[in-house]
Every structure is written in structure tokens, then in C-alpha cells.
Amino acid sequence: MTAALALGDDALVLSHRLGEWAGHAPVLEEEVALANIALDLLGQARLLLSLVGDEDELAYLREERAFRNIQLVEQPNGDFAHTIARQLYFSVHQQGLYEQLAAGDGRFAGIAAKAVKEVAYHRDHAEQWTLRLGDGTDESHQRMQRAVDALWRFTGELFQPVEGVDVDWQALHSRWLETVTDVLGRATLTVPTGPQSGAWTAGAGRQGIHTESFGRMLAEMQHLHRSHPGASW
């Protein structure tokens, strides 16, 4: 139950953050791309949360402390570079995680085998943009580097073992680092050297401790459902 909640909340929260780009993305194609990725993640969230209970109740009626997502996915969109850095860190991780889950015979194998093929496109999208922004103009390079640096301290939590998720977390971490190092290198960006988690953040999302902006995100996500209980389209 904890495991499905953790993975489901990661997908749900990131889906909502990406949905916030609707109407604000730099070009129409990106508007569509980010919404498509958000939709895939929402599909994952629905399947995973349905293993735990009623998907709508879980999404709309839980308090902030009951969410088990990692803090990386709740970070505000920032500028486009921040969103892409968040996508790169998360999609490389999710691809590795789902590949391992799909290869096993645990309860997430079916969902992972389905989702991993979609996540490959998410990762490709993030990778292409990282290359384009990192190896682009001085301005885009600088902004992409800033984003990659700013989110680095939230990446340690990606590899904190989740009870009930039967994968090799150490292998996941080293493969992630290898891939991210390769992409950042090709994008002429520098791999951040700081710690992958701060004392105050270490693993806190999975325990229900979230960063300041998450409460505001939830308020927006939940207010319609809470204002009109039981309403449907």
C-alpha cells in the first residue's frame, strides 16, 4: 500500500505540475508535448492509486502530510529550463525503475511494462531539450545550468528504497548517474558536485514532509472537488 501510494503520488504530482504549463508554454508544440506527458503520468497515477483505494478521494481529499511523493516532483515549474531539468532527473529515474519492475513478477510488473514504453518518450523529450538549451545560446546555457544545479539536492530522494518496491536501488542510482552525466556532458553542462540531498530534505517527501510550494499546489488542485463534493462532468 505504501509503495503504490509513493509511486502513484510521484506520477500524480508531476502530472499536475506539467499541467500548469497549459497556456504558458513557449511554443505550441511544447504546450502539447507537456500536456501529453502529463496525461501519461495521470494514467499511471490512476492505476497505482486505484490499488490503494478510491482514486478521486486519494487525489482530492488527502491533506498535504498524507502525500508520499518525493520533493523533486512538487518543485515549482520555474522557467522552462527548470521544468526540463526536473523532467530529465525524473524520467531517467522512472525509466530505470520501471524497467526493473517490468522485468520482475511483482504487483507493479504489468503497470511498469505498460508505462515504461511511454516514459522512454518522456526521457527522449527531456534529453533533446537539455542538449538544445545547454548547447544553445549563452543565455539558454546559463539558465539550464542554473536549473540543473538548483534541483540537484532533490535527486538523492529518488534512490531512497521504498518498502514494497523490489528493485536494486544501488544499481538504479549508479545507472542514473551515468546517464545524467552523459547527457549533461553532451549538452556542455557541468554535473553538479554538491550533495544529492540536504540535511533538512533527506527522504522527507516519502514521510509526508513537503516543501513550501506544495501546499499551494494542492490547494489549487483540490479546491474544485472540495468546494463541490461529488460533482462530476
Residue type, 45: A
Nearer to another protein, 124 or 178 (CB): 124
For the CB of residue 27, give the shortest distance to another protein in the complex, in Å: 9
Cβ 19 vs Cβ 59: under 8 Å = no
Binders in 76-95 for another protein, by CB under 8 A: none
**CA 80 vs CA 13, 15, 151, 196: distances in Å:** 18, 16, 13, 22
Give me the numbers of helices (H) and strands (E) for the chain, helices first please.
9, 0
Residue 195: what residue type? P
- DSSP state string for 130-145: HHHHHTS-HHHHHHHH
CA separation for the pair 212, 225 (Å, rounded): 22
Nearer to another protein, 29 or 212 (CB): 29
Report the candidate in 101, 98, 77 with the shortest Cα–Cα distance to residue 23.
Answer: 77
What is the size of the binding site for another protein (CB under 8 A)?
26
- Enumerate residues 32-51 that contact another protein by CB under 8 A: 32-33, 35-37, 39-44, 46-47
**Which residue of 56, 63, 124, 182 would you call a contact of another protein, by CB under 8 A?**
124
Answer for which of 29, 200, 232, 233 binds another protein (CB under 8 A) is 29
What is the smallest separation between the CB atom of 120 and another protein, expressed in angstroms?
Answer: 3
Which residues lie near another protein (CB under 8 A)?
A: 29, 32-33, 35-37, 39-44, 46-47, 109-111, 113-115, 117-118, 120-121, 124-125
